[in-house]
Amino acid sequence: MSKMPSKIKVLFVITKSNFGGAQKYVYDLATGLQKDRFETAVALGGSGQLIQKLHEQRVRVIPIFSLTRDINALSDLFAFFELWSIIRLEKPVVVHLNSAKASGLGALAARLAGVPKIIFTAHGWAFNEDRPFLQRIVIKFFSWITVMLSHKTIAVSEAVRNDTRNWLFIRNKIVTIHNGIDSAELLTSEEALSHLFTQAGAQIPKDAIVLGSIAELHKNKGLRYAIEAIAILIKKNPSVFYLILGNGEENEQLDALIKRHKLQEHIFLLGFVENAATYLKAFDIFVLPSIKEGLPYVLLEAGLAGLPVVASRVGGIPEIIEDGKTGLLVSPRDSSAISSAIEKLSESLELRTKLGKALREKVIHDFSLSRVVSETISLYENI
């Protein structure tokens, strides 16, 4: 075990600078480590919201100009040498890697630069996505290489860790540290509803059941199955409204699906909404129909808001949602099951209140940010 200096220099590395789950994780750690013990910086690609948020907290940001999410041999080569140069210049004690592209390149660069402590956080595995078989095999191989090059890998859920149980030579390299959340700034139900329905250009009926999702519009989030569920449900309950907050590559396809089912007056794609979690109390029910997840922050935020949840039984979601106790779980890609679960909750205020309260208690007790920070510091110190 190597000895830590009085002030530990930690360099976080991440591919994209938008503000999704992996970026929130980096932000929380980079700003949550004690400033008298740690010197932190974040190296990243892009020009997204994470940069501004880090600047506001006076965390140093180092751009990686060649780093993009898409695979490109030439730009990836440039990004590798950029990272290697940054690491050699910064001389961090800890390089903490996040997201597949940055982690693969960063692990190799950090090894060649002689970094004493290389941490990789696996927020989920790209080989679990709907991809061609050969592509998934290649991605799994490079994921294994990243774990091998890192001194320790953090899995954000037991499900993420279990995906590696048959990998060679990594048994003692992976630990689970669940994501955590400190607090949630929430508008009142009335304020949130008024703002979102004004943005949607719609009126709120008094008897409305308002469903909500906050998600990147990506096929991994399974939002098309929730839309199909509303198409089933609306025939029985025309007072159901569904608000989707987020943008992404599936925007046009989801919009076309809404129009195909003639649901334009019931389902609204609101696009990017800044500080989207502050509007959670607008919803009677939170819906997360993902087909792939690590451990989604948005469920922790929904929990702090005391919302009942309908979510897919995938990844680390069952580690937050216990079916029938802290929410309702459904099989992925099952619109009929989603519709039935929403119908069950919409018919019972008592059940919604019970599940929302139980989830809030679980999140407060089991998923605190202070625990994440302390367990991560312990990992830094004990490699």
* Mean of pLDDT over the chain: 95
Per-residue confidence (pLDDT) for residue 73, from 0 to 100? 83
CB half-sphere exposure, 193, CA atoms < 13 A: 16
107's CB contacts (< 8 A; 6+ apart) are: 97, 118, 120, 145, 146, 149, 150
Q: Is the pLDDT of residue 153 over 80?
A: yes
CATH number assigned to the domain comprising residue 207: 3.40.50.2000
Residues 208 and 154 in one domain: no
Examine residue 334 and state whether it is found in any structural domain, yes or no. yes
Residues 91 and 201 in one domain: no
Residues 197 and 285 in one domain: yes
Examine residue 320 and state whether it is found in any structural domain, yes or no. yes
Cα separation, 14 vs 29, in Å, equals: 13
Cα separation, 228 vs 217, in Å, equals: 15
Q: For residue 5, what pLDDT band results from cuts at 50, 70 and 90? A: low
Examine residue 205 and state whether it is found in any structural domain, yes or no. yes
71's CB contacts (< 8 A; 6+ apart) are: 101
Q: Is the pLDDT of residue 377 over 70?
A: yes
Cα separation, 303 vs 301, in Å, equals: 5
For the chain, the helix, strand and coil percentages under 3-state DSSP, each to the nearest 5: 45, 20, 35
Tens-digit pLDDT profile for residues 7-30: 899 999 999 999 999 999 999 999
Domain ranges, residue 154: 8-180+368-382
Residues 227 and 131 in one domain: no
Cα separation, 183 vs 207, in Å, equals: 30
Q: Which value, to the nearest 10 degrees, does the dihedral of the CA atoms of residues 222, 71, 100, 184 take?
A: -50
Q: How many domains does the chain have?
A: 2
Q: For residue 266, what pLDDT band results from cuts at 50, 70 and 90? A: very high
Tens-digit pLDDT profile for residues 75-92: 899 999 999 999 999 999
> Tokens 């001389």, residue?
91
Residues 35 and 158 in one domain: yes
Per-residue confidence (pLDDT) for residue 298, from 0 to 100? 97
Q: Picking from 49-53, 185-189, 199-203, 255-259, which range would have the lowest pLDDT averaged per residue? A: 199-203
Per-residue confidence (pLDDT) for residue 3, from 0 to 100? 54
CA distance between the termini of the chain: 6
Residues 226 and 281 in one domain: yes
Examine residue 3 and state whether it is found in any structural domain, yes or no. no
Cα separation, 202 vs 199, in Å, equals: 8
Residues 111 and 219 in one domain: no
Q: For residue 4, what pLDDT band results from cuts at 50, 70 and 90? A: low
DSSP code at position 114: T
5 or 168, greater pLDDT: 168
Average pLDDT on 223-239 reads 96
33's CB contacts (< 8 A; 6+ apart) are: 10, 40, 373, 377
Per the CB < 8 A criterion, the answer to whether 239 and 205 are in contact is: yes
